[in-house]
Structure 1
Amino acid sequence: MRISTAGTRRWMLATALCGVLITGCSNGSGGGGGDAKPQAKPAAEPKPLAEGALRPLLLSQADLGTGYVQVQEKSDSGKFDDVSVQGCSALEKLGQSGDETMFAAKAETSFTYDDTDATLGEELHSDRPSVLSSKLRGLFGAYTSCPTYTMTAGTTPIEVKVAKSATPELGDEQFAYTSTMELPSGAQVLKTMAVRKGNVAVMLVGAPALVDRHMKTAVGKLPAGS
């Protein structure tokens, strides 16, 4: 199937938007140690899964059905160096700590759909449940703290509007918001949704209909004990 130049450009911007979200994170405590009693050993949390264990849990073309084409993965190195955010202090602080590794392990994939500009990206993250919970709350809290902000990709300023979204009753915790990017070619609406199940978090970003359609399948691929 043909992937248009415009579609590729929009996917790059969508990836940049998601990438800023994923790779930048404040130093939130996230460890849950404050709840431990001085004379009692805290209950052991499940350990993070390794990247090799996460990769088979990613969505595949067989999971998604006909019309999906997997996008060839590229190295993250330098991918978001020219992306910055202005007009939202919480996101600006998030970006300042972008060199930090957010979670212990990560695996990702992405797809285009039906010879259109529609895209769907997935990231799996693993860490101790308390770390995933704390950092996801901080992350989505930052992104929904400002109804509007400006994202600059290279020299191109892009106005972004953000609104919280409803979430399905899946996993242990759910987070979602919808962002509208005002591009020169027209507005593009993206939905970002994350579901934590134990020590693994599934994050989907892309066309809202595709995110809503496939999140249950993505969560269903996680092992029962995660």
Structure 2
Amino acid sequence: MPVKQRRISRMAAAAACGILALAAGCGSTTAAGKHEAKPIGSRATAPGSPSSSASPVDLKPFQGQQLRHYLLTADDLGPGYTQTETPDDKKAADPHRYDDMGVSGCPALEELGKHSDEVQFAAKTSVGFTFGSDSTLGEELHSDAPSKLAAGLRRLMHAQTSCPTYTMTSGSTPVTVTVRKDDAPSPGPDAYAYTTTLTGPGGSQVLKTAAVRRSNVMVMLVGAPALVDQHIGAAIAKLPAS
């Protein structure tokens, strides 16, 4: 693959690792070795499930290990999908791998980057897949108190969709990013979708992001638009009941 095309693919990979990538870099939530909050109550209905007696406002975050129970698998997706290394794999979890990437021309994203600690959630897990030779699909699950998830998701999505066009840089290579809001993938106030086109010297790549919060868990699916549209329903269906 030519160097310039690798630059485009690397930026696409950064976007595909979640909407926090452009603000603070992937892996900035729940870094290895840090404490992850446990769900409230000592009598969970099942491993990774919140207490049946907890009200929505009282629900505490899942642990990362518990969150993995709700990730999509290759079996969920069907034939043709191969699971790849994910950002929270131990050997792939480098918190500095996007340090040379920047954003300009979008004040909301630039401001969010200055205060990224305010939109970090208590727990995170992720998984990635390839389909065919060049299509990708990435999923992230985040967990925190429902009110914090709702507020953080609104802030993140507002920042991501507030600028129709801005510039990303990887080292000294500029890439033009265009953003289009899409119809929400699920009823309710905490559901969002948008399509991003990254265009640079090596070509263009189109990604779709869909995000939905249910109770104390939020799912984000990022990848080829057709794959996101096809599987977002299954991703939502795997979330714990509200």
TM class by shorter chain equals 0.7 to 0.9
Identical aligned residues as a percent: 49
Unaligned runs of 5+ in 1: 26-41
Query: Once structures 1 and 2 are overlaid, which stretch shifts more, 165-174 or 215-224?
Result: 165-174
**Partner amino acid, structure 1, of 2:206:** V
Whether 1:205 aligns to 2:205 is no
Does structure 2 retain, via aligned residues, the 8 Å contact 1:124–1:201? Answer: yes
CA 168–219 in structure 1, closer or farther in 2 if over 3 Å, else same? same
Displacement after TM superposition at 1:149 (Å): 0.1
Matches of residues 10-159 of structure 1 in structure 2 within 5 Å?
10-19=8-17, 21-22=19-20, 24=23, 44-73=57-86, 74-98=92-116, 102-114=120-132, 116-159=133-176
Cα distance in structure 2, aligned partners of 1:101 and 1:136? 8
Number of residue equivalences: 205
Does structure 2 retain, via aligned residues, the 8 Å contact 1:192–1:204? Answer: yes
Does structure 2 retain, via aligned residues, the 8 Å contact 1:164–1:178? Answer: yes
TM-score (norm 1): 0.82
CA RMSD of aligned residues (A): 2.4
Cα distance in structure 2, aligned partners of 1:172 and 1:162? 20
TM-superposition CA deviations, 1:196-221 (whole Å, max 9, x none): 11110000111111111111111111
Whether 1:166 aligns to 2:183 is yes
Query: Once structures 1 and 2 are overlaid, which stretch shifts more, 207-216 or 4-13?
Result: 4-13
Unaligned runs of 5+ in 2: 25-54, 87-91
Does structure 2 retain, via aligned residues, the 8 Å contact 1:20–1:80? Answer: no
Displacement after TM superposition at 1:17 (Å): 2.4
Displacement after TM superposition at 1:98 (Å): 4.0
Cα distance in structure 2, aligned partners of 1:80 and 1:176? 24
TM-score (norm 2): 0.77
Does structure 1 retain, via aligned residues, the 8 Å contact 2:153–2:190? Answer: no
**Partner amino acid, structure 2, of 1:80:** Y
Displacement after TM superposition at 1:140 (Å): 0.5
Partner of 2:240: 223
Cα distance in structure 2, aligned partners of 1:193 and 1:183? 24
